[in-house]
Amino acid sequence: MRHYSPKRDRRRGISIGKQRFLNLALSLAILLQISYPLLEGEALRVITLGIVYVGAVAMLVHGFFSFGTRYAFSYFVITFLFALATEELGMRTGWPFGTYSYDPSLGFKIFELPLVVPCAWLMMAHPVLVAARRLTHNWVFLYGGAAIAAWDLFLDPQMVSAHRWTWQFTGSHVPFQPEIPLSNTFGWLFAGMGLIALLHLTLPRERRKGGAELIAVDIFIFWTLFSGFVGNIFFFHRPGVALFAGAIYGGLFGPYLFSRWFGRP
């Protein structure tokens, strides 16, 4: 039997104009990703930056439309500053990710860090927080850290292959990714746990009655899995990355997508 939902408790959703703007931002982020393997040279560099900036805007807009001004503002400030501090620490000390350096092609810098890097954190952290809060109550930080590390299993090999950043290391590497140290994955796990814990404790948890649905987050999460798997097999010719990263990413986000499509048990 369908549960009765009083009319006063039903969500109104956002206006048509806001929904169109959100759809436009999300669609543009996906279209830019589709064009990525078809380009090279300067066009590829510009598209790489555009993917991150537009993706970050799409997730910020969704957070604002769904959870409100306080959520969006606090999310931006906390995530940006956390990413800035963590990446600066990583570049100067080699902890927690390992020894690495960013290429000048990534554009404008804040201190020694390209602006696009903390924007990548902004693009990833909101969908991860939404999924973590839905799936668990007491272990949001642990699931969130693992999910961010899984996301990076698709991101890092693609960017290293394009020479956007490089590593200097000897020793163990990520499976099927010999150019990336294993310390990077553990670094993302620990940094992700810290960021998600901070966001979970700080940001509002309930969506507004007039807030946007979570479908934009669902699409973004699924698209990352689909594009990462298909791209590595058919365009980047790295089936090991596709299978390894796809299995971990799918294993972590699969339960969230299942619960969204079919409802909680």
2 found inside a domain? no
pLDDT digits (tens, 9 = 90+) for 187-245: 999 999 999 999 999 999 998 888 999 999 999 999 999 999 999 999 999 999 999 99
152-186 exposure pattern, b = at least 16 Cβ within 10 A, e = fewer: bbbbbbbbbebebbebebeeebbbbbeebbebbbe
pLDDT of the residue at 262: 87
Q: Global pTM? A: 0.93
Mean pLDDT of 140-159: 97
5 found inside a domain? no
pLDDT band at 2 (very low <50, low <70, confident <90, very high): low
Q: Rounded to an integer, what distance in angstroms lies between the CA atom of residue 264 and that of residue 68? A: 25
Task: Say whether pLDDT at 5 is over 70.
Answer: no
48 found inside a domain? yes
6 found inside a domain? no
89 found inside a domain? yes
| Per-chain mean pLDDT for the chain | 94
Domain holding 122, by residue range, is 14-259
pLDDT band at 246 (very low <50, low <70, confident <90, very high): very high
Q: How many domains is the chain built from?
A: 1
Task: Say whether pLDDT at 10 is over 70.
Answer: no
